[in-house]
Structure formats: C-alpha cells, structure tokens
C-alpha cells in the first residue's frame, strides 16, 4: 500500500502538464487551403486568429473562425472548446452586402 501512495501524487502533475500540452490545429478555408498551428491548450484562440490573419495578409476583423459550426470568440481556448489534437477550424471571409 505504501508503494501505491507515492504513485498517485506522481500522476497528478503529468495530468496537469497534458492539460496545457501543445496541440496541432488545422485552419481550413472554404476553398480547401490548409494552415497548421501548434498552440497550448490554454492559449486564447484570438492569438491563433491574429497569426492566421497576418499569414494570409487579411484583416482579422474581416475573417470569421468556426469550430463545429459555432463562431469562435476572443476568449475561447482549445480547452474551453474541448478540442482534440489535429482538430479543424473553418475560416470564412466575412461578406458585406445584401440584396437590393
């Protein structure tokens, strides 16, 4: 029994490290272009959005990011959205206008 007790506390820090372990996220456009990012699970996705906008030369305000069909907010993190490694974020260019 004494051998089991030290193992339990030893596994706790490992779980915590995995909670913020980096994951790979794929950002995909409607035309099928893919950009890959590696971020920590507690990093706000607004940081990824800014990096993506810089990479493609667009204003971050003109792009919409969706995960499982829901729009990603500035405060969302991979943990808050229960994202897994190699999950996909869809990106759309915001269109302004309507019908006359």
Predicted confidence (pLDDT) per residue in 65-81, tens digit: 999 999 999 999 999 99
pLDDT at 99: 66
Average pLDDT of the chain to the nearest whole number? 84
Encoded tokens for 64: 């919409």
- Regarding beta strands 87-93 and 63-67, do their DSSP bridges make them parallel or antiparallel, or are they unpaired? antiparallel
pLDDT at 100: 62
As a whole number, mean pLDDT of residues 17-37 equals 89
- pTM of the complete model: 0.75
As a whole number, mean pLDDT of residues 15-23 equals 70
pLDDT at 16: 47
pLDDT at 93: 83
Distance CA 100, CA 83 (A): 40
Predicted confidence (pLDDT) at residue 14 exceeds the cutoff of 50: no
Predicted confidence (pLDDT) at residue 11 exceeds the cutoff of 70: no
- CA separation (Å) from 11 to 1, 7, 21, 24, 68? 16, 6, 15, 24, 32
Fold (topology level) of 21-93: Ubiquitin-like (UB roll) (3.10.20)
């Amino acid at each position: 029994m004494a051998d089991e007790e030290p193992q339990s506390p030893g596994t706790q820090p490992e779980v915590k490290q995995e909670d913020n372990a980096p994951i790979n996220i794929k950002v995909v456009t409607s035309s099928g272009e893919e950009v890959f990012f590696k971020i920590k699970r507690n990093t706000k996705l607004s940081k990824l959005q800014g990096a993506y906008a810089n990479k493609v030369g667009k204003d971050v305000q003109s792009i919409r990011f969706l995960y499982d069909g829901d729009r990603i907010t500035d405060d969302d993190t991979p943990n808050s959205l229960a994202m897994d490694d190699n999950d996909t974020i869809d990106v759309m260019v915001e269109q302004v206008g309507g019908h006359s």
